[in-house]
Amino acid sequence: MAETTGITRIAVQVVGVSMPGNWDRPLGYTGNKRYVAVYWDCSVDDVYITDGLVGRSGGAWWLYANLVDHDARQQISATLMACGVSDPLNNWPLGGHETYATHGLILDRFEHSLWVAQLSNISRSLSLQHLSSGEDIGTITMSLIREKDALYKDLVIRPNIPCDCARGWVLLSDYYMPCPRCQRSGKIEVIPEVVTF
């Protein structure tokens, strides 16, 4: 169960939603912690996923958008109201193009369940996942900020076209598998055509 990191004390479960296995992978998460938080980061206008230590943007934002805008919008809205948000549909608290998130989704990667909680509670609760490795929360918070900055500095532009998968992952029934076409890069390098006569 979820008691080890206190998720059940700070979050409300989204009832009636079962997430595809590996849903976090196309979103950009590469770690192995049980809980990750997902929300829209207004500062970069992109989906953001974090386990409390390592977080990143640049993932398959449309999977997140499909979930919150279509597939589970009613269930997530009801859960937000259970978290005390009075009018979630008109005052969307998970972040947007011009509004900073006050709440986030928590994905239980082991149980494939989805939860909602306030961001301030999420960050501390997720940080507790890492305490067994002997790091204190201050160090974790700093490394989270560093990681995010480093990712943006590492952006390299190469000639390529987007693969039609989800950022390097393809959905097989209810589970995401690495895409064989682009080798998980999400991009297919453009090979210049050689014209011969």
Footprint on this chain of Zn ion (rule: CB under 5 A) = 163, 165, 179, 181-182
**Number of helical H runs and strand E runs in the chain:** 6, 10
Q: Which residues pair with 187 in a beta bridge?
A: 162
Six token digits for residue 174: 């209810």
Looking at the Cβ atoms of 23 and 40, the one nearer to Zn ion is 23
Q: How far is the CB of 170 from Zn ion (least distance, A)?
A: 7
Q: How far is the CB of 191 from Zn ion (least distance, A)?
A: 16
Looking at the Cβ atoms of 81 and 177, the one nearer to Zn ion is 177
> What torsion, rounded to 10 degrees, do the Cα atoms 12, 17, 21, 25 define?
-60
> What torsion, rounded to 10 degrees, do the Cα atoms 86, 90, 94, 98 define?
-140
Nearest partner of 117 among 183, 16, 195, 37, judged by Cα: 37
Q: How far is the CB of 168 from Zn ion (least distance, A)?
A: 6
Looking at the Cβ atoms of 52 and 186, the one nearer to Zn ion is 186
Q: How far is the CB of 64 from Zn ion (least distance, A)?
A: 18
Q: How far is the CB of 154 from Zn ion (least distance, A)?
A: 21
Looking at the Cβ atoms of 124 and 184, the one nearer to Zn ion is 184
Looking at the Cβ atoms of 58 and 111, the one nearer to Zn ion is 58
∠ CA 24-183-195, nearest 5°, is 140
